[in-house]
Amino acid sequence: MTATTDGSTGALPPRAAAASETRTDIPAAAGVPDVPDAARRAVARATDFLLARQDAEGWWKGDLETNVTMDAEDLLLRQFLGILDEATAQAAALFIRGEQREDGTWATFYGGPGELSATIEAYVALRLAGDAPDAPHMAKASAWIRAQGGIAAARVFTRIWLALFGWWKWEDLPELPPELIFFPTWVPLNIYDFGCWARQTIVPLTIVSAKRPVRPAPFPLDELHTDPAHPNPVKPLAPVASWDGAFQRLDKALHALRKVAPKRLRRAAMNTAARWIIERQENDGCWGGIQPPAVYSIIALHLLGYDLQHPVIREGLASLERFAVWREDGARMIEACQSPVWDTCLATIALVDAGLPTDHPQLVKAADWMLGEEIVRPGDWAVRRPGLPPGGWAFEFHNDNYPDIDDTAEVVLALRRVRHHDPDRVEGAIARGVRWNLGMQSKNGAWGAFDVDNTSPFPNRLPFCDFGEVIDPPSADVTAHVVEMLAVEGLAHDPRTRRGIEWLLAEQEPDGSWFGRWGVNYIYGTGSVVPALVAAGIPASHPAVRRAVAWLESVQNDDGGWGEDLRSYKDARKWAGRGASTASQTAWALMALLAAGEKESKAVERGVAWLAATQREDGSWDEPYFTGTGFPWDFSINYHLYRQVFPLTALGRYLNGDPFAGRLPAPGARAADRPRAEAKGM
């Protein structure tokens, strides 16, 4: 493979690149008579592997790997609060150094190009740990940073971290006034116009932006500027008639307003924001079960006078310790989030589809744990749906304020597979989950991940929002999971389900694929939508299904697997469906093809053979590639359990067929049972 100018690989056509990076000792599946036998052996090993990794309480959780900004910002937080200790700094530095690329940079996903902000934050973290700026690995990093434009070219969030120590000027950052907290929901740019993850981050950052704190810098960072004497060259404004130009001028106005804003109003806004933050702290001390809002909330409250021994701060810091994953070599990696509910429902689905008895004790224990995680109180979603009764599940251990639609759909599908000793309890939980998901349908007929109609065009235009998605519009993958769940619940012909199906059919790409919002990318979207459409009664002969099959067959790698590089989010023409074969992406493609009736096809046979041949002796698969997303391209995720649950699901369906085939309820049958369950207080 040849190298691009950014030091990444990818100049060759993606299919050729993929073939050069995957195993070459896998025999072609064509004519191999023992593919089913190989699949059965793989399923047996994978089942044992997965069962052995269940927690005693009934849940599964794989590591959630992102990038070194999590580790760097953890050290910066501790430095800001004055609690950074040598052992933590060295353990984090060991991990960060291990992630550095040959060219001195840090990437945000495996095999990806060097990324400027990640490299700056990693460099600063290593300096906090004592690495000298003239050390070879540090000098290589700083030279690359300068060549890319230095700190001035970094994203806003990186420069906010540097401003906390005087390494960047607050006045050279976009303004974020705390008075936003007073905007009613009908005013553009109110906090509920932002996706829940952005909302939880922006509210505390309004306090930080208003306070503009500066702690003494432990060292200068002149080596990261292209011109230390003029670190922030003035950039011309975009045309006033453009959206960018309009919001740039709005930011200038907000900077001017800062000087004349009534102090009493500002104090009231910050106090209101603080109450909003505290009300959303979870029982375990975290905020929303994710690390970034927790970090910024702790800083914001500390700036308002909450000392480190205050229960809110103390529990918040304790919660962050639970995001640390300690490696055998002593390195310390910080997870951005933890995924036990998601991992547990996917593991349950995989094991049942692989043939494990539905009343197996470990499946019943998993169901018990999932039932205990049901959310039965309103959260921020109720701002847009005030009359909707609560129900559903979140992604994390503790996140009662933000259940999500995707997890709820998959938990229902998992619970429906298990023969539980208390069926009324299961039916009640499922009924509430179905009702809540139906109530969270957006007006276009589709579903987002956390909120209803979270589609305002304005948040993404703010100069402050230069990184990742800050809104939560409906997506094909989430909508597909809801449609599949509704079909299993006997609601395939419900008008709300049909609207979701119509939306999915309209969203199909011209090449036959679907865009994947929460997984990489077109393979994930297509692997989610095709099984949902078929489950909902769309025949395998439907043109949309046939186009999807043709596309999947066209992007199958020469080794028999499927893969897709994250660069498909930036260049779909070149990268859609292209990349090194991975276990999870091969499984997604197989799940779609099997749903479309392609079990006897050569594509399926070769894909199954690839999964069987690449399985390790212990029943696991290796997958260094990132196949999950937080924000497409900007924030990528390697879910370490994906490489186990999805191949097991695909192989199980290859051997056993659709788990609900021939036993789906009559239209509306389970829905008709729901009032009975609810009448019993379920």
> Of the listed 406, 407, 494, 565, which one is catalytic?
406
∠581-583-587 over CA atoms, to 5°? 105
Structure tokens at 600: 């006897």
Q: How many CB atoms lie within 10 A of CB 533?
A: 27
d(CA 291, CA 303): 19
Q: Provide the 3-class DSSP secondary structure of residue 134.
A: coil
Are 377 and 400 a contacting pair, CB within 8 Å? yes
Structure tokens at 423: 């069926």
Alpha-carbon torsion angle 462, 464, 467, 471, nearest 10: -50
Q: How far is CA 309 from CA 83, 87, 313, 314, 493, in A?
A: 12, 22, 7, 5, 56
Q: Provide the 3-class DSSP secondary structure of residue 196.
A: helix
Instruction: Give the H/E segment covering residue 478.
Output: helix 476-488
**Half-sphere exposure in the Cβ direction for 480 (13 Å, CA):** 27
DSSP string, 450-472: SSSSB--SSGGGSTT--SS--SB
> How many residues are present in the chain?
682
User: Among 518, 247, 57, which Cα is nearest to 529's?
Assistant: 518
Structure tokens at 406: 């995707």
Under 8 Å CB-to-CB from 204, ≥6 apart: which residues?
273, 277, 293, 296, 297, 299, 300, 301
Active-site annotation holds for 227: no
> Hey, CA dihedral for 377, 381, 385, 388, is it positive or negative?
negative
Beta bridge partners of residue 631, listed in sequence order: 635
| Centroid of chain to Cα 17 | 26
User: Among 418, 309, 410, which Cα is nearest to 362's?
Assistant: 418
Q: Provide the 3-class DSSP secondary structure of residue 290.
A: strand
Instruction: Give the H/E segment covering residue 64.
Output: strand 64-65
Give me the helix-helix angle, 69-81 and 291-303, nearest 10°.
20
Residue type present at position 654: Y
d(CA 134, CA 144): 14
d(CA 315, CA 88): 19
d(CA 317, CA 607): 46
d(CA 96, CA 77): 16
Q: How is residue 261 annotated by DSSP? A: S
Structure tokens at 476: 């094909």
Instruction: Give the H/E segment covering residue 631.
Output: strand 628-631
> Hey, CA dihedral for 596, 600, 606, 607, is it positive or negative?
positive
Strand 635-639, strand 64-65: pairing: antiparallel
Report the catalytic residues: 406
